[in-house]
Amino acid sequence: MNLNEKNVLVTGIASNRSISYAIAKKLSESNANVIIAYQNERLKDRVLKLKDDLKIDLDAYQCDLSEDSEILSMKEKVVSKYGNLDGIVHSAAFAPREELSGKYLDNVTRNGFSLAHDISSYSLTALCKIFRDSLNESSSIVTLSYIGAQRVVQNYNVMGIAKASLETSVKYLADSLGGQKIRVNAISAGPIKTLAAAGISGFNQILDIYEKKSPIKENITTSDVANVTYFLLSDLSSSVTGQTLYVDNGFNIVGY
């Protein structure tokens, strides 16, 4: 089933290289009503310039996902214009750059740990909690993770722990919302050269390893992730919830 005229909120677009941008593009090509949330005023002009690329009447709302008041304000505006949502794409993650290098214990701080968990994990729960009464039955929520949640990845550090929290949240949220037939899933994507990835020390080496070691011997693209997100948002995945799906050309199955 396509997503024609379904209302889908997409967070986390920062540029046309963002995974969430590719998702928004895929949804717009399916005639979904794509609603964009961007973090702050600094990103506003950049995000609005993507309107022509996406070929949609782009509605963009400024929303810092670390502030419940801003999520609530966005919800009121979105519901007033579109009615209830049929899907949410959560693509928000952050940790202090200086904590994304070296050994975890050498660089982690209490503030960095709290910040990474708040933005990278709790923000999904906050979105679900605030939009809970404004989601249609059979809605679908998708978030983005990474294998660093389950394996030690050099330099990923505190972000890996935050993503582990995110993946566990997906299970509990799926249980909490299942009575409304609302699904919650995560995609664990292979490494992609985005603005966010640029903050991880040695990221180009990670790309090289994935290309050499994954069964398909290629790195993935943002379009690969967008295609699986489409599946999870559509009724084709009506019986799938609480899962983390790997979109990484099989890298997660490889041992050394």
Active-site residue numbers?
146, 156
Alpha-carbon 28 to chain mean position: 17
> In whole angstroms, what is the distance from residue 120 CA to residue 215 CA?
29
Distance CA 227, CA 187 (A): 11
Count of CB atoms situated within 10 Å of the CB of 67: 12
First to last CA, the chain: 40
CB 43 within 8 A of CB 65: no
CB 16 within 8 A of CB 94: no
Q: Is 53 helix (H, G, I), strand (E, B) or coil?
A: helix
